[in-house]
Amino acid sequence: MKYIKLFAVALSAFIMSACSDSKDYNTASDVTVEMEKSEISIKEHVGRFVVPVKITGTPNGDIKVKVKVDPSGNNPAKPFEESNGAWIGNYIVTSDVITISADDMVGNIEIYTVDDKEINEDRSFIVTIESAEGASVGLAATTLVIIKDNDSNPYERVQGSWSMTYYDFNNAEQSMSVSLSGYDEDSKKFGVELTLDGMYPAYATDGLSSAQVYFFDDESIDMRYLEIIIPQTIGTYSQDSTYLMWLIAAQRTAQGSISMTLNDIVLTGIISEDYNTITFDEAMGFAWYFADSSFDQQLGALDAATDIVMKR
């Protein structure tokens, strides 16, 4: 939880600086603010989400909105706070005050969920517009937020933020922050496919680098695991769209060097019983490689990753 504590402190600093700006607020009449949605349901591993607030009317200036958050339901969600030396809770509100410009007409209350890795009933809280400067508060002033548990479903439980450690071209241990995300329950890919995001986004167009990952839950042997089929493309090279970002097969030899190949392989990662570690095949992995779609033109490898382990 240490990283979340630091994140919460950073948010506090941001909030104090963000709320100090002076604004020229709306003076036009018949302008109201309301919640855009009466109810929002999100999974507890989702991280950042927003509760939208909309303006009705024709404002001639900014509108400042203050909200409050209250627990709701039989299993109310609690704010992520320090209690007796420990950080506990289910959500973090970036700021309870936002300023909506006349040009935007919609503002967002930013909230982060905290994944507790425990099986529990869905939790809920209510976000209410408490006051507004430059507008009146309309009748639709509340949004019910339901944080749905994800830990009872193995496919959902494995999703979220991870630290991926590996050995690079120089046989030095490295790490990067990545995330596993899945699909909604109404999708055919639900329970089957995941995306692995965050690998060298600076080299990908618009920062989008996503690998396709397959999820397996083999109840007969009580094992959950991931498979990454290689080679595959994960994005487009940000400096030249002629080239794609590829994952190609890499293997560490007995001498410690890296051998790369375009052969098809399946890289398997075993998920631990507590879902806190994913351990991939020993000495195996992939290289981040730049080439066109047919490999007729190649720029070469950015780096390699073998002996991959992902940890919460």
Q: What letter would DSSP give residue 202?
A: G
Residue 21 has pLDDT above 60, yes or no: no
Provide the pLDDT for residue 143.
98
Provide the pLDDT for residue 23.
63
Find the mean pLDDT for residues 8-27: 56
User: What does the pLDDT look like over 137-182, one tens digit per residue?
Assistant: 999 999 999 999 888 899 999 998 899 999 999 999 999 999 999 9
- What is the chain's percent helix, strand, coil content, to nearest 5? 10, 55, 40
Provide the pLDDT for residue 45.
83
Q: Which residues contact 244 (CB under 8 A, 6 or more apart)?
A: 233, 235, 236, 237, 290, 291, 292, 293
Provide the pLDDT for residue 15.
45
Percent of the chain with pLDDT strictly greater than 90: 81
Rounded to whole angstroms, how far apart are CA atoms 33 and 97? 13
pLDDT band at residue 14 using 50, 70 and 90 as cut-offs: very low
Question: Does residue 215 or residue 254 have the better pLDDT?
Answer: 215
Provide the pLDDT for residue 3.
43
Residue 10 has pLDDT above 60, yes or no: no
Contact call for residues 79 and 91 (beta carbons, < 8 A): yes
Find the mean pLDDT for residues 282-300: 97
Contact call for residues 197 and 210 (beta carbons, < 8 A): yes
pTM to 2 decimal places: 0.73
Provide the pLDDT for residue 20.
43
Instruction: Round the average pLDDT of the chain to a whole number and report it.
Output: 91
User: What does the pLDDT look like over 42-88, one tens digit per residue?
Assistant: 988 888 999 999 999 999 999 999 999 999 999 999 999 988 888 89
φ/ψ bin of 235: left (φ > 0), alpha (ψ from -120 to 50), beta (otherwise): left
Q: What letter would DSSP give residue 207?
A: G
Lowest mean pLDDT, pick from 2-16, 110-124, 262-276: 2-16
Residue 19 has pLDDT above 80, yes or no: no
User: What does the pLDDT look like over 113-148, one tens digit per residue?
Assistant: 998 878 889 999 999 999 999 999 999 999 999 999
